[in-house]
Amino acid sequence: MTEVKLIARDLVMSFAARRLFQADQLAFCQGDVIYLQGDNGTGKSTLMKILAGLIRPTQGVIEASGFAKNPWWKRNPLLGKAVYLHQHPYLFDGSVEYNLNYGAQLSAESSSQATLRIQQAIDMAQLGSLLHARASDLSGGERQRLAIARAWILQPKLLMLDEPTSNMDRDSQALVLQMIQQLKQEGTGLLVSSHQHCALTALCQQRWQIEGEHILTAANPPLFLATQGALHVATN
């Protein structure tokens, strides 16, 4: 089976005269679980949007491999390769149920399998009592649960989560963790941005940190919590 991955080469991102970050090479592959860190304003969300094909870097290329080819009308070859979930996720104007069913339409599974997965997502995210509520009326935590449930239905090969539990209470965080753990078990590559260590970031096996205009990388996060020396500039 072909490995699904994104590789960024000679990456530079700047706004006007200010350089946010640079990296010779970054690889985000199916099965990776990466913790993305950096101070506010260092460009964590920007990096995720670049990898998702939502914005272009100032310099560099993003190569995608192992994915099905895009249809002829999709000009940006990166769009749809990695699912990006912002901390204030975009939801369709309609009910919770509509949002979940819309996600299932993009799934490659059969109708019966998609229906089963939708029900599993509803149960895991505890959205049953909210199915007929308008997505626009949900609380911040409920919107996050819905967005992650919708992504979970898709079984993405690569998923980027931008502060996924920032608006959630502990119970909601536990529900999201359960869904993310299952995606991890199914082989989804995960890139998680979070300001604080939590049960979700504890799942991570690699770390990227934006610091001093460079993206630093390391494996086995507990090691570099003890020493900065375990981090190196991404030049693989």
pLDDT of residue 235: 42
Distance (Å, whole) CA 44 – CA 64: 20
Is the pLDDT reported for residue 16 higher than 70?
yes
| CA triple 223-167-193, angle to 5 deg | 30
pLDDT of residue 236: 41
Q: Is 31 exposed, middle or buried (0-12, 13-18, 19+ CB in 10 A)?
A: middle
pLDDT confidence tier of residue 230, bands split at 50, 70 and 90 = very low
Domain that holds residue 131: 5-69+76-233
The strand pairing partners of 85, in sequence order, are: 161
pLDDT tens digits, one per residue of 49-61: 999 999 999 999 9
Over its C-alpha atoms, the chain yields an Rg (Å, rounded) of 18
Distance (Å, whole) CA 218 – CA 233: 9
pLDDT tens digits, one per residue of 168-212: 888 888 998 999 999 999 999 999 998 778 888 889 999 999 999
Structural domain count of the chain: 1
What is the average pLDDT across 140-158?
A: 91
Lowest mean pLDDT among 41-55, 57-71, 133-147, 196-210: 57-71
pLDDT confidence tier of residue 25, bands split at 50, 70 and 90 = very high
Q: What pTM, to 2 d.p., does this model score?
A: 0.87
pLDDT tens digits, one per residue of 69-127: 665 445 566 777 789 998 888 899 899 999 998 867 766 667 888 889 999 999 999 99
Please give the C-alpha separations between residue 228 and each of 21, 93, 122, 209, 211, in angstroms, as whole numbers: 18, 45, 42, 11, 11
Q: Which amino acid is residue 119, in one-letter code?
A: Q
Q: Give the CATH number of the domain where residue 130 resides.
A: 3.40.50.300
Determine phi and psi for 235, rounding to 5 degrees.
Answer: -135, 15
Distance (Å, whole) CA 201 – CA 199: 6
pLDDT tens digits, one per residue of 153-167: 988 899 999 998 887
Q: Are 199 and 177 in contact (CB under 8 A)?
A: yes
Q: Which residues of 15-24 are buried (b: 16+ CB within 10 A; e: fewer)?
A: eeeeebbbbe
pLDDT of residue 87: 85
